[in-house]
Structure 1
Amino acid sequence: MFNAQYFRTFITLVETGSFTRTARRLEMTQPGVSQHIRKLESYLDKPLIERKARSFTLTESGRRAYDYALKLFAEHEQFRHALDDDSLDSGECRIGSPGSVGLMFYPFILGQQQMHPNLTVNYSFAFNHEIVNDLLEGRYDIGIVTEKVNHTELTCTVWHKEPLCLVVPADFAGSTLSDLMGIGFVNYYDGINYANVLLRANYPDEFRSMTHFRHQGFTNEVSMVLDAVARGLGFTVVSRLVLETSPWQRQVKALSLPHSINEVLYLLRRRDSVLPKRYEKLLDGFHHQRMQEKTPLALGQ
């Protein structure tokens, strides 16, 4: 019959190297320790140690049993912590977001995991409509999207705001709408929508529609769009999160504009769900960190 205590006694015996020290640590008698080891060997039907006068060595089966026992108790502790919804620093989190958000939010989460080994986060990068579907099907506990969602089974609340940046090649010398039309536009998922909003707010007398711009291409990977801008192929409009994490930020620059427009990030969850407190700590922690940072928008200028 499986008995976890026998495995615990075996682990302690291997770690102490002594029946006497094992008995003292576990507050048992030495014959009791020996009995646990014999019963574990009987259960596994394999000898685990080779007994000598005052010592022992592990058999091959003993080494494998020790490795298994360590894994067994580690998984047990992880499972136990995962059941604690009040814990801030342990348990599992399942999150989905677009790449533009995950470029900075996911590294923040990895930092939290490094500080709290019992915290496990499964993070997926996806488009807005995919996040909604996966959330409804139970693949995520929360989703972060860039558009407001109206659905009877979901709650949608504003979580965070990031400024939009009009990004041009570093050697771009223009500033007018005609100058921008001259170099063309590099598109991505959400690119057209963000460009429409930002240009309309800052060039109200001239801007009509993005259909009047020459389109220089499209990528479905937002983290790569600034590569095209850095090569002088056009301009784009991205969240500051994308610009600050881009390896091409020194080859591009964000134009200074009179009117700031924010990308609004919405938090989605199932209406009937009760989220463990660890989610609140992650979400609030990232939001507060971003609010405290004083990174200039006009990178490269």
Structure 2
Amino acid sequence: MFNAQYFRTFITLVETGSFTRTARRLAMTQPGVSQHIRKLEQYLGKPLLDRQGRRFVLTEAGRRAYDYALKLFADHEQFRHSLDDDSLDSGECRIASPGSVGLRLYPYVLGQQQMQPGLTVSYCFAFNQEIVADVLAGRHDLGIITEAVRHPELDCEPWHQESLCLVVPADFLGASLADLMGLGFISHSEGSSHAGTVLRQNFPDEFRSMSHFRRQGFTNEVSMVLDAVARGLGFSVVSRLVLETSPWQRQVKELTLPQPVYETLHLVTRRGMRIPRRYGRLLEGFREQRRLERFGHGEVIEPMSG
């Protein structure tokens, strides 16, 4: 019969190299230690020790059993901590977001995992609809989406705002709506919606519809859209998170506009589910980091509840 205590005794024996020291550390008798090892060998059907008088060396089965035992207890501790909703520094975090958010959030979460080895991160990049479906199915505990959703089995609340940036090729000299129409538009999964919002608020007397713009291309991978802009193929509108992480930052520029426009990110969870505190610390830590970065760059910070 499987007995975890036998494995615990075996680990201690390997670490101490002595039946006497093992007995002392575990508050057992030396015959009791020998009995645990003998019963473990019987359970596994293999000798674990090659005994040489008072000394011993591990057999091949012993080395494999020791590695397994270490993993067994490490997994046990991780599982035990994952059940503690009040733990800030241990347990699994299952998060999904669009790429536009994950380009900055995922590296931040990994940094927190480095500082808190008890954390385990499962992060999925997906589109809004996929995120909502996966949260409903229980594949993620927390989803971050760029558009609010209403569903009887979900809670959805605003969390964070990022500015939308109208991005043009670095050598583009225009500034008017006509200039942008002449340049053409590079779209992505949320490109037309973002662009329409930005242009409507900054050119209210001239802008009518994105259908009036020559469409120069489309990609469903928002992190790649600035490659097309850098090549002079058109302009696009992306979250500042995308612009800041783009390898084409130096080949494009943000067009200065009089009216800033923000994208609101929403948190989505299954209705009534109590999210462990570790999620809250990750989310607040990221939001504070973004606030400090934006303040350092002189960006006006819009108040955000929650």
TM-score of the superposed pair, with normalisation by structure 2: 0.94
Matches within 5 A, 1:71-150: 71-150=71-150
Distance 1:13 1:159 in 2: 52
Distance 1:25 1:89 in 2: 29
Distance 1:272 1:157 in 2: 13
Question: 1:170 Cα deviation (Å)?
Answer: 1.0
Distance 2:170 2:15 in 1: 60
Question: 1:56 Cα deviation (Å)?
Answer: 0.4
Paired position in structure 1 for 2:56:
56
Question: 1:30 Cα deviation (Å)?
Answer: 2.0
Matches within 5 A, 1:188-267: 188-267=188-267
Query: For residues 176-197 of structure 1, what are the alpha-carbon distances to aligned partners after superposition, in whole Å with 9 as ceiling and x for unaligned?
Result: 1111111111000010000000
Question: 1:297 Cα deviation (Å)?
Answer: 8.5
Between 72-81 and 126-135, the greater mean CA deviation after superposition: 126-135
Matches within 5 A, 1:164-179: 164-179=164-179
Question: 1:24 Cα deviation (Å)?
Answer: 2.3
Question: 1:27 Cα deviation (Å)?
Answer: 2.3
Between 168-177 and 219-228, the greater mean CA deviation after superposition: 168-177
Which letter does structure 1 place at the counterpart of 2:90? S
Paired position in structure 1 for 2:302:
none
Question: 1:296 Cα deviation (Å)?
Answer: 3.9
SS at match of 1:158: strand
Matches within 5 A, 1:2-81: 2-81=2-81
Matches within 5 A, 1:153-168: 153-168=153-168
Distance 2:298 2:201 in 1: 17
SS at match of 2:96: strand
Equivalent residues of 1:167, 1:237 under 8 A apart = yes
SS at match of 2:149: coil
Distance 2:293 2:216 in 1: 33
Distance 2:147 2:118 in 1: 33
Distance 1:297 1:48 in 2: 65
Paired position in structure 1 for 2:272:
272
Q: 1:167 to 1:296 in 2, by over 3 A?
A: farther
Question: 1:31 Cα deviation (Å)?
Answer: 2.1
Structure 2 residue ranges without an equivalent (≥5): 300-306
SS at match of 2:250: coil
Which letter does structure 1 place at the counterpart of 2:240? R
Query: Alignment identity in percent?
Result: 72
SS at match of 2:249: coil
Which letter does structure 2 place at the counterpart of 1:238? V
Question: 1:148 Cα deviation (Å)?
Answer: 1.2
Query: For residues 156-212 of structure 1, what are the alpha-carbon distances to aligned partners after superposition, in whole Å with 9 as ceiling and x for unaligned?
Result: 111000000000111111111111111111000010000000011111121111111
Equivalent residues of 1:146, 1:263 under 8 A apart = yes
SS at match of 2:129: helix
Query: For residues 16-57 of structure 1, what are the alpha-carbon distances to aligned partners after superposition, in whole Å with 9 as ceiling and x for unaligned?
Result: 212222222222222222121111111112110011122101
Distance 1:296 1:103 in 2: 19
Distance 2:65 2:126 in 1: 41
RMSD: 1.3
Equivalent residues of 1:240, 1:297 under 8 A apart = no
Equivalent residues of 1:166, 1:237 under 8 A apart = yes
Question: 1:11 Cα deviation (Å)?
Answer: 0.8
Which letter does structure 1 place at the counterpart of 2:202? N
Distance 2:44 2:136 in 1: 44
Structure 1 residue ranges without an equivalent (≥5): none
Which letter does structure 1 place at the counterpart of 2:53? A
Distance 1:61 1:74 in 2: 20
Which letter does structure 2 place at the counterpart of 1:23? A
Q: How many residues align?
A: 298
Distance 2:132 2:210 in 1: 28
Distance 2:272 2:92 in 1: 19
Query: For residues 39-95 of structure 1, what are the alpha-carbon distances to aligned partners after superposition, in whole Å with 9 as ceiling and x for unaligned?
Result: 111111211001112210111111111111111111101110111111011111211
Equivalent residues of 1:92, 1:121 under 8 A apart = yes
Distance 2:255 2:36 in 1: 72
